[in-house]
């Protein structure tokens, strides 16, 4: 056994000596230098990503709120769909370039204003702006497809020329045009509560004046849940536009990796989403999730590469592990509030989303009475200023009624007679009273003046007496 070990050791020693005797070739030296340079770049990139990962997370600052994971993007939000509750917030109102997640809003406006069988026609304007590297499916001037086919190209292939054609064509039979569509994108964003966005095109190609924020994109994606057709499209992994008299055949695939079962980033609860990338925006991602108990929208802005997928999954797992939906009707009853008599049933909503350790009693409630429906109101619940849900309610009959102030008692005047405080009412004897009062004031002044004169004379006599006394003393001394 020992002899075998000695043989192996001798062999390794000889091999080491032989390798040391072989000279290093110049090419090998250059490869070594390149390897070292790549290593330095990798270290630099890791340092930058680590810094992004440690950026402040606003929801982590809430008392008793579960600590959420970091993300490799500059901004991220996780919103519960039915309530609009924000479970995770990181720079959610900061302005960022959206890139192709803009097409979520393009799709929403198209669904709200068009029909699936409407025609989408490709003009020269819808193609002339394309530059090398822009996503497209190869449509040509004069091609005509249906709006349904166009939305498949918009959401799956992120086709920029198709997005432009959609904005030109939707509502055209009503007199609408491209400018109307872009304006409608901004109007809808604002109507949904978006306050930090400005859209200037329908595809998301870079423009300095085309920006949004994570919160606004989550609100837009949340609204898209009202349209099952959008999810039918997004869950399609490959689609084909058949050849026709007006267009050629086109085949394209879904780009969102979390929807592919044979993909390393597959997540079983993902039901839709949209990817985005430009040099200025970096990677952006919108993802819709449903685990059967909770529906979520996750938005990541200015992230890097596949980190958008790993961060999205981490945020979803964070939500499913730490939060639960609580019906307002089981917590807000007539016994706990004199203002509310009943929590009204509603198709969506009527919940708050609470983390473990935060009870319903810790929430702040705001009652917003309806303008048109008497006796009903919207209830809004927040936790340390963070919105967590709401409900519809019927208010008590006494809500909003204030006790009427008692009339101010009338002042009594001498003699027990009650008179008004109005200064314009003058007693018939008031003139004589004013004259006698004036005479009394004059008499008082004369008495005071006489007293002052007497005091002054007394002081003079005292001074003279003092002077005479001092003279007598001097005379005696002499």
| The model's pTM | 0.75
Please count the other Cβ atoms lying within 10 Å of the Cβ belonging to residue 88.
27
d(CA 114, CA 331): 42
Q: How far apart are CA 165 and CA 322, in angstroms?
A: 44
Q: Which contiguous run of DSSP H or E holds residue 56?
A: none
Q: What is the pLDDT of residues 95-143, one digit of tens each?
A: 999 999 999 999 999 999 999 999 999 999 999 999 999 999 999 999 9
Report how far apart, in Å, the C-alpha atoms of 293 and of each of 220, 269, 289, 314, 316 are.
21, 11, 11, 18, 13
Write down all domains in the chain, each with its CATH number in brackets. Answer: 2-53 (no CATH), 67-322 (3.40.710.10), 331-395 (no CATH)
Dist. CA 400–CA 404, nearest whole Å: 12
> Nearest Cα to 86, choosing from 76, 78, 94?
78
> What is the pLDDT at residue 37?
61
Measured CA to CA, the distance from residue 264 to residue 285 in angstroms comes to 17
- List residues bridging with 352 in a β-sheet: 326, 389
How are the residues of the chain apportioned to helix, strand and coil, as percentages rounded to the nearest 5?
40, 20, 40
391-436 per-position pLDDT tens digit: 988 888 777 665 444 555 443 333 333 333 343 333 444 444 544 5
Give the Å distances, CA to CA, from 109 to 125, 224, 290, 408. Answer: 20, 10, 23, 60
Tokens matching residue 349:
């909503």
Residuewise pLDDT in 10s, the chain (478 residues): 444 444 434 444 443 333 333 333 333 333 334 445 668 888 888 888 999 999 999 999 999 999 999 999 999 999 999 999 999 999 999 999 999 999 999 999 999 999 999 999 999 999 999 999 999 999 999 999 999 999 999 999 999 999 999 999 998 988 899 999 999 999 999 999 999 999 999 999 999 999 999 999 999 999 999 999 999 999 999 999 999 999 999 999 999 999 999 999 999 999 999 999 999 999 999 999 999 999 999 999 999 999 999 999 999 999 999 999 999 988 876 445 678 878 888 777 789 999 988 999 999 999 988 887 678 888 999 999 999 999 988 888 777 665 444 555 443 333 333 333 343 333 444 444 544 554 455 555 566 676 776 777 777 777 777 777 776 666 555 4
d(CA 171, CA 161): 18
Q: Rounded to whole angstroms, how far apart are CA atoms 153 and 112?
A: 18
């Amino acid at each position: 056994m020992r002899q075998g070990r000695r043989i192996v050791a001798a062999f390794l020693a000889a091999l080491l000596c032989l390798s040391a005797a072989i000279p290093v070739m110049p090419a090998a030296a250059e490869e070594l230098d390149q390897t070292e340079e790549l290593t330095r770049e990798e270290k630099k990139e890791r340092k930058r990503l680590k810094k992004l990962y440690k950026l402040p997370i606003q929801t982590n600052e809430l008392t008793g709120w579960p600590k959420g994971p970091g993300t490799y993007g500059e901004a991220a939000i996780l919103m519960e769909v039915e309530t609009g509750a924000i479970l995770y917030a990181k720079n959610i109102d900061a302005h960022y370039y959206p890139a192709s997640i803009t097409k979520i809003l393009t799709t929403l406006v198209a669904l709200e204003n068009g029909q699936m069988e409407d025609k989408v026609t490709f003009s020269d304007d819808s193609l002339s702006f394309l530059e090398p590297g822009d996503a497209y499916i190869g449509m040509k001037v004069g091609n005509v497809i249906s709006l349904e086919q166009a939305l498949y190209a918009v959401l799956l292939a992120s086709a920029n020329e198709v997005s432009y054609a959609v904005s030109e064509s939707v509502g055209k039979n009503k007199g609408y045009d491209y400018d109307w569509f872009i304006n409608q994108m901004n109007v809808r964003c604002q109507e949904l509560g978006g306050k930090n966005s400005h859209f200037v095109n329908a595809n998301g190609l870079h423009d300095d004046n085309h920006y949004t924020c994570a919160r606004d994109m989550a609100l837009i994606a949340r609204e898209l849940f009202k349209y099952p057709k959008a999810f039918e499209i997004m869950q399609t992994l490959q689609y084909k536009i058949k050849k026709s008299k007006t267009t050629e055949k086109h085949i394209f695939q879904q780009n969102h990796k979390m929807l592919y079962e044979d993909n390393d980033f597959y997540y079983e609860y993902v039901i839709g989403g949209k990817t985005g990338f430009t040099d200025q925006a970096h990677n952006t991602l919108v993802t819709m999730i449903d685990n059967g108990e909770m529906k979520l929208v996750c938005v990541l802005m200015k992230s890097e590469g596949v980190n958008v997928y790993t961060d999205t999954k981490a945020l979803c797992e964070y939500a499913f592990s730490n939060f639960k939906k609580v019906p307002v009707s089981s917590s807000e009853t007539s016994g706990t509030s004199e203002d509310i008599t009943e929590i009204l049933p509603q198709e969506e909503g009527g919940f708050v989303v609470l983390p473990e350790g935060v009870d319903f009693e810790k929430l702040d409630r705001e009652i917003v009475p309806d303008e048109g429906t008497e006796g009903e109101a919207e209830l809004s619940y927040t936790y340390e200023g963070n919105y967590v849900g709401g409900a519809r309610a019927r208010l008590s009959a006494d809500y909003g009624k204030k006790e009427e102030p008692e009339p101010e008692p009338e002042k009594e005047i001498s003699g027990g007679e009650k008179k008004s405080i109005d200064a314009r009412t003058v007693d018939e004897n008031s003139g004589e009273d004013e004259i006698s009062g004036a005479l009394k004031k004059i008499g008082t002044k004369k008495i005071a003046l006489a007293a002052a004169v007497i005091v002054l004379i007394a002081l003079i006599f005292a001074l003279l007496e003092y002077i005479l006394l001092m003279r007598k003393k001097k005379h005696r001394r002499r």
